[in-house]
Amino acid sequence: MRYSVFAGGKRLRPILCLAAAEACEGNDTLAIPAACAVECIHTYSLIHDDLPCMDNDDLRRGNPTNHRIYGEAVAVLAGDALLTLAFEIIGFSRPARKYSTGDMVHELALTAGSKHLVGGQVMDIEGEGGGLSSRELRFIHESKTAALLTCSLRLGAMAAGASPRRLAALTKFGQSTGLAFQVIDDILDITQSSEKLGKSAGKDMAANKTTYPSLHGLQKSRREAARLTSVAIAALKPLGSKASRLHEMAHYLLERDY
Ligand code: GRG
């Protein structure tokens, strides 16, 4: 568990969680449990995604994947334990009035389960070998990628006792920025080296996977990521200047090179 969590990683989900709490006039103390919980879920999903029965990868966060070091059985269990730890942590969180700990647990469970992360992964596996439509690809991206980013923002906002209007604004921001994040990820898989990414590059093309660039080309994909980022930034309007860190994050996610 420690090997994969502390291997590095950009910590995007916890950062978004804390920035959302700030945008809703909360603070880090309130949102830290949720920030840690989403990183545990994310790291579990990476460990399991890298297993031979899934993506079969050797490199993650610049290091050998968990199962390459500890073997498949322990890697499965490390993922299971991180998934469970996320709920242990969030179960102890004390959000500001308006939301209960149960609301936070429900939000996280909905995201991690069959409707989002797991469902998206199933569809991704079933779509291996290519031939997916734009609509199917969007569903996978919404489920596998945008859902946990959106959940991170929503949990930060809920920890801070956000109004329904602010929560809705952050949900929209998460959905658009999450899709942009995945389009950029697909572009980087083609344009960057494994060394730079800290994970195996060029896998999508080698596996004949349907991606944004495979359907629309690199240039159109870049334009789409920029368009989605503008939609995300526009959604932040109700949050005013308190959302400046989220503005910065949206730009960073669009311009990142790993
Ligand atoms: C339930 C096993 C299981 C999987 C669910 C989330 C997921 C589906 C699989 C993980 C791998 C994957 C390709 C996810 C899509 C989102 C994505 C590109 C994740 C990488 O996130 P970064 O770049 O990673 O934030 P770091 O290492 O920086 O934290």
- From first to last of its 258 residues, the chain has per-residue pLDDT tens of 999 999 999 999 999 999 999 999 998 999 999 999 999 999 999 999 999 999 999 999 999 999 999 999 999 999 999 999 999 999 998 888 899 999 999 999 999 999 999 999 999 999 888 889 999 999 999 999 999 999 999 999 999 999 999 999 999 999 999 999 999 999 999 999 999 999 999 988 888 889 999 999 999 999 999 999 999 999 999 999 999 999 999 999 999 999
Rounded to whole angstroms, what are the CA distances from 217 to 108, 188, 206? 34, 13, 16
Q: What is the structure's pLDDT at 206?
A: 87
Q: Which residues line ligand 1 (CB under 6 A)?
A: 9-10, 12, 42, 45-46, 48-49, 61, 117-118, 120-121, 144-145, 185
**Is the pTM for the entire model greater than 0.85?**
yes
Q: What is the structure's pLDDT at 2?
A: 98
Q: What is the structure's pLDDT at 128?
A: 86
Residue-range domain boundaries for the chain: 10-253
Instruction: Please provide the distance, in angstroms rounded to a whole number, between the alpha carbons at the two ends of the chain.
Output: 23
CATH number for the domain whose boundaries are 10-253: 1.10.600.10
Atom of ligand 1 nearest to the CA of 120: 8
Q: What is the structure's pLDDT at 13?
A: 98
Q: What is the structure's pLDDT at 200?
A: 94
Which protein residue has the closest C-alpha to ligand 1 atom 29?
A: 9
Q: What is the structure's pLDDT at 120?
A: 96
Q: What is the structure's pLDDT at 70?
A: 98
Atom of ligand 1 nearest to the CA of 143: 8
